[in-house]
């Protein structure tokens, strides 16, 4: 049975225009009539007339916390399609208790993160950072030292969720040896991706590149500390595209100051933006990017496109592919 729910957009205005461009909005309006103007997540109380009638919200970064006050203002709300990544900062028990369903484009956002991670891993195995540093510092062509290259090198994936799976699939063509640590993953499932399960300690000892993909949970906060870091292979690289607080940054700075053979490539930090006195910002064996691995530029339109597809399923009465249930929140990023 098909339905034609009244729909509105909510989030930061500058992102709504990019995630849901005009052509996409026309497609949405054809199956789910759009009410009123876009709702600025910070100023939602100014749009009470729209919220009073809306059944579906198409969101992106900037969705407000869905607490009782918001939900009371949207008594007919039945579904939220979130064109961005994590939903943890705005979903509530009250939302789930009212039977409101939510789908997220986190899987779509995993695509560029995995692509970024693959690129960083391959560059690291070529010692790209070290070679280019020497050329810049000496202002001459030099090629000193060895690099492992990709063939038969070991890449360790810490946690094996959506992004790690996509990263493993992208790396499969490069004749690497892939290992992973994930307490919730079976060996049989790991083998489907050509990955060997190991302990966390084994992963840090054996890997030429360690790539972090763990969600930030109480048990993963500070997971990577001095003891693990000190055991890394000579010349190894640590890559983090997950959450900054997975790493004990004080321990990382200490180990990297003592082991100049190690390199850290960090797209995320515990505090963002990082404080200017954070020692990692000035270390020669650290590369920091400002949280750019996820969807940027034209990539953000993919997020809206996936949520448009999800809206189509909702309107057709079909099962949703990217729904996030309350029970999922304890284990996802």
Give the residue among 178, 204, 212, 201 at the shortest CA–CA distance from 259: 204
Q: Looking at the chain, which runs of residues are DSSP E strands?
A: 7-11, 39-40, 56-59, 79-82, 101-104, 154-158, 177-181, 195-197, 209-212, 237-240, 263-266, 286-288
**Catalytic residue list contains 243:** yes
- Three-class DSSP category at 184: coil
> Which of 98, 205, 259, 291 is the catalytic position?
291
**Catalytic residue list contains 226:** no
Give the residue among 86, 63, 88 at the shortest CA–CA distance from 74: 63
> Which of 136, 139, 144, 272 is the catalytic position?
272
> Which of 127, 243, 287, 322 is the catalytic position?
243
User: Cα–Cα distance between 185 and 308 in angstroms, integer?
Assistant: 31
**Catalytic residue list contains 331:** no
Buried-state track 189-226, b at ≥16 Cβ within 10 A, e below 16:
ebeebebbbbebeebbbbbbbbbbbbbbeeebeebbee
User: Cα–Cα distance between 302 and 292 in angstroms, integer?
Assistant: 16
Report the relative pairing of strands 263-266 and 237-240 from DSSP bridges: parallel
Determine contact, residues 268/240, Cβ cutoff 8 Å: yes
Catalytic residues: 243, 272, 291
């Amino acid at each position: 049975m098909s339905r034609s729910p009244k729909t509105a957009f909510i989030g930061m205005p500058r992102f709504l225009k990019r995630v849901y461009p005009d052509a996409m909005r026309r497609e949405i309006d054809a199956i789910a009539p759009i009410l009123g103007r876009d709702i600025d997540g910070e100023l939602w109380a100014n749009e009470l007339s729209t919220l009073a009638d809306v059944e579906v919200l198409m969101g992106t970064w900037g969705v407000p916390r869905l607490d009782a006050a918001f939900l009371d203002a949207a008594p007919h709300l039945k579904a939220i399609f979130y064109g961005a990544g994590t939903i943890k900062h705005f979903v509530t028990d009250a939302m789930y208790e009212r039977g409101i369903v939510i789908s997220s484009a986190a899987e779509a956002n995993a695509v560029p993160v995995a692509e970024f991670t693959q690129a960083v891993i391959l560059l690291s195995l070529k010692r790209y950072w070290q070679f280019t540093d020497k050329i810049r510092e000496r202002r001459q062509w030099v090629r000193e030292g060895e690099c492992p290259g990709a063939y038969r090198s070991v890449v360790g994936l810490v946690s094996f969720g959506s992004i790690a799976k996509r990263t493993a699939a992208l790396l499969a063509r490069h004749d690497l040896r892939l290992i992973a640590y994930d307490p919730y993953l079976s060996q049989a499932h790991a083998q489907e991706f050509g990955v060997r399960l190991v302990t966390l300690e084994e992963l840090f000892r054996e890997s030429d590149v360690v790539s972090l993909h763990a969600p930030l949970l109480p048990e993963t906060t500070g997971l990577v500390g001095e003891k693990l870091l000190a055991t890394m292979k000579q010349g190894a690289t640590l890559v983090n595209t997950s959450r900054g607080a997975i790493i004990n940054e004080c321990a990382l700075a200490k180990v990297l100051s003592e082991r100049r053979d190690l390199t850290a490539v960090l797209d995320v930090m515990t505090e963002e933006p990082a404080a200017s006195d954070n020692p990692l910002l000035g270390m020669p064996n650290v590369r920091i990017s400002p949280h750019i691995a996820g969807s940027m530029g034209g990539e953000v339109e993919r997020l809206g496109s996936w949520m448009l597809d999800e809206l189509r399923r909702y309107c057709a009465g079909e099962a949703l592919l990217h729904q996030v249930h309350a029970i999922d929140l304890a284990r996802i990023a």
